A and B are shown apart, each in its own frame.
Chain A
Amino acid sequence: MMGEKRILISPGPHLWSGLSVSKIMYLVALALIFPSAAGVYFFGYHALSVIATSIATAVLTEYIAKRLRKRPFIMDWSAVVTGLLLALILPPMTPLWMVVIGSAFSIGIVKEAFGGLGHNIFNPALAGRAFMAACFPAEMTTWVLPMGFAADAVTCATPLNEGFVGPIDKLSLYRMLFMGNVGGSIGETSALLILVGGLLLLALGIINWRNPVAYIGTVALLTFALGQDFIFHILAGGLMLGAFFMATDYVTSPITNKGRIIFCVGAGILTVIIRLFGGMPEGVCFSILFMNAITPLIDRYVKVRPYGLKKAGEK
């Protein structure tokens, strides 16, 4: 009899897209495989162990933090993404024990201490990188030539460092930067593969095109206006990775489209200022962290105009 059946109720709507937080994070991790592959190809086994160590530490730290906070641990890939992103912005020869400390800091302090996914103010990977730069200044600025799986590492300067010696011919330099065959962080060197991963996320509707376009566009315009080689500034350093994978982080960037553009233009301006006038060769990390800090402020003042609300001056 139908009447005996237990009837359940639930709040509407009774349909769900099924695109969950876990699925989004999984897709981001998937897209990051491209720059990771470039890192391992150019910098060899040690880069691979840095990536593995960072991811393992991130997931383990998340598990411990959830246990300590008496919250359920959900394997939602967000810790994997943080661990992977941190590894990709580290120098290839970073000692593994440092990676463990940095990754544990990213998850334990920057993410979980603030309340976990959705509540952190700063991008965990970038804040972890900044923490490591403060703790281990020498190791965090030791760069090696991309020698693939060759046994010995040869230190060098990155394209943004002063001592960098690249090809005289501009086209060869651009090609080198685009392919990623230069010294730099594990996942930052190959603009090509970052672009592949980034376009994948754009195509899947995971990231908003406004963020990378506003960020890279600002850097390009500003460096061009200041008489710099703007193609070089787009391709060199962490700009591509930052624009596609860091400035697009939902949690730490504004929620409105207008806010996102303000965020990315601000980060672009700061990046150029730090690169050209600051004491450090690269400014992507700190510029995004600074904009993370003012994101709540942006969200407070940048609102969407609701349907039916007349604009000022309209009759």
Chain B
Amino acid sequence: MINKVHISLKRRGAPYGVKLTESKLTAASPIERAPLPEKVIIALHQNIGAPCKPLVKRGDKVLAGQKIGDSEKFVSVPVHATVSGEISSTTTLVHPATGQLVEALVLTSDGMDKWVDFEARDDIDMLSVEEILRRIREAGIVGLGGAAFPTHVKLSPPKDKKIDTVILNGCECEPYITSDHKVMLEYGKEVLSGLNIIRKVLSPDNVYIAIEDNKEDAIEHMRELLASMGLDGNYEMITLRSKYPMGAEKTLIKSILGREVPIGGLPLDVGVVVHNVSTAKAIHDAVFEGRPFVERVITITGAVEHPKNLLVRLGTPLRDLIQNCGGMDGEADEIILGGPMMGISQFDLDFPVIKGTNCVLVKKNVPINERDCISCGRCLEACPMHLMPTILVRYVKAGRYDACKEAYIDDCFECGACAYTCPANIPIVQYIKVAKSELIKRAAKK
């Protein structure tokens, strides 16, 4: 039987996280297919882990779905051509999340959209776990909630770690973003089928589907699908209060199971694997249809004429997407890849969307007016990792990076709840990022 469970972010009775204005402008807009781009830019390093080496060279003709870059490393996934056409040049990009320079291939479309043949399977019960994982890896699937961690790695826990719980994450707790929401509504069957595959691979005792209560229609839809597919005995729906950052793995695990992932550890250390709903859909496409991961739903929102949920070929330049939505409003002058909380400002409209992109937010730049900390403690109450953000900032300003490390700065996943709530408008996350990169540099020197 499916229970309706309301769970909110609490620690010993005290709430944490922040309540945000949702601004989900595109919650009622159905998914639209974006027109075929004239050219796409495929970065050779879109995932956490090793970068790919190109398998094609300038002048080569490629088909949509053709593998054009791969790596021999386990923690890496291949990249594919997302349109058919010709490799016109190579270029270097600034990775939107890490800021590192990455190699990229520029692919000019021939407008034909010719695809490679897919190796479809409808007998997945016959497939071995190894074969399923191979198909997921070959499709180039990474975690689509934003982290872009290779999915087949997450599905291959070490032998000594027993996974007892799988959580399908449909929280989508950042304001503005509605791509997961739409995927659940329009591709709910594929999502649940992907979840079946995850369950087959990990054979957990419990599987939860976690959705925030601001997506009533998705909750209803998933519930109906579970019933009609005869899965309601296997999966439990969990309704979570909308609060930021509910959808972050560690907070989600704490909220649902009461378990805390140890510092520096992974969810699998407490027997849990969390997968995003869009990832589950991509897993279905890869395993059943043999379709590589070359397009995804991206919310184009904020200060554009017509905010939309677009089904976009990866590598499409931001310029095309924004134009497709009627262009930027007169006042707007900032473009963010990702949501308003964890997204990153981009300086170039020719930058392509990558696998981890779930949202393009256009907005008016608001200057930061930083003042001195008044020690109000709001950042402590907001921090889902129960760190002391303002103390970390104090250490960073004093150059005491070792003290930052001792204060568990590495545990911060940069959700931005602290800076959101800071009355002194201190860009706390920025200070933390500075210290983290400094610590990485120092560790590399040793």
Q: Within 8 Å of chain A (Cβ to Cβ): is B247?
A: no
**Residue-by-residue, is A106-140 near B (CB-CB < 8 Å gives 1, otherwise 0)?**
00000000011111000000000000000000000
Interface flags, A1-43, vs B, CB<8A=1, else 0: 0110111111111111101110110000000000000000000
B18 interface residue per 8 A CB criterion: yes
* Chain B: minimal CB distance from A140 (Å): 29
Q: Which residues of A contact B411 (CB under 8 A)?
A: 306-308
Q: A13-B340, A15-B175 are in contact. Are A5 and B333 (CB under 8 A)?
A: yes
Q: Is the CB of A9 within 8 A of B345?
A: yes
A251 sits at the interface (CB 8 A): yes
Pick the contact of A15: B371, B373, B374, B420 (CB < 8 A): B420
Asked whether A309 lies within 8 Å of B361 as measured between CB atoms, the reply is no
Given contacts A14-B340, A14-B343, A119-B372, contact A19 B423 (CB under 8 A): yes
Q: Give the interface residue-count category, chain A.
A: 35 or more
Q: Is A310 an interface residue (CB 8 A)?
A: yes
Q: Is the CB of B408 within 8 A of A306?
A: yes
Contact A307 B334 (CB under 8 A): no
Task: Looking at the assembled complex, report how far the CB atom of A47 sits from the nearest CB atom of chain B, in whole angstroms.
Answer: 29
* Number of A-B contacts defined by CB within 8 Å: 162
| Residues in chain A near residue B365, CB distance under 8 A | 8-10
**Chain A at the B interface: SS class:** loop
Count class of interface residues, chain B: 35 or more
CA–CA, A253 and B377, complex, Å = 10
A308:B334 contact, CB within 8 angstroms: no
A256 to B427, CA, bound (A): 21
Mark B311-327 against chain A: 1 for CB-CB distance below 8 A, else 0: 00000000100110001
Taking CB atoms, residues of chain B closer than 8 Å to A3 are: 319, 349
Contact across chains for A304 and B423 when beta carbons are under 8 A apart: no
Q: CB < 8 Å: which of A10, A253, A257, A307 contacts B368?
A: A10
Whole-angstrom distance between the alpha carbons of A250 and B322 in the complex?
44
CB neighbours (8 Å) of B344 from chain A are 12
The residue of chain A having its C-beta at the shortest distance from the C-beta of B408 within the complex is A306
Does chain B have a CB within 8 A of A305? yes
Q: Check if A309 sits within 8 Å of B408, measured CB to CB.
A: yes
Q: Write the residues of chain A forming the contact surface with B, with a CB cutoff of 8 angstroms.
A: 2-3, 5-17, 19-21, 23-24, 74, 115-119, 208, 250-251, 253, 255-257, 303-310
Further pairs besides A16-B366, A306-B385: 13, Cβ < 8 Å: A2-B323, A9-B346, A14-B341, A15-B175, A20-B425, A23-B423, A116-B372, A118-B372, A250-B376, A304-B387, A307-B250, A308-B260, A309-B263
Seen from chain B, the residues whose Cβ lies within 8 Å of a Cβ on chain A are: 14, 18, 20, 175, 250, 254, 260-263, 265, 319, 322-323, 327-328, 333-336, 340-349, 361, 363, 365-368, 371-377, 380, 384-388, 390-391, 408, 411, 414, 416-417, 419-425, 427, 429-430, 433
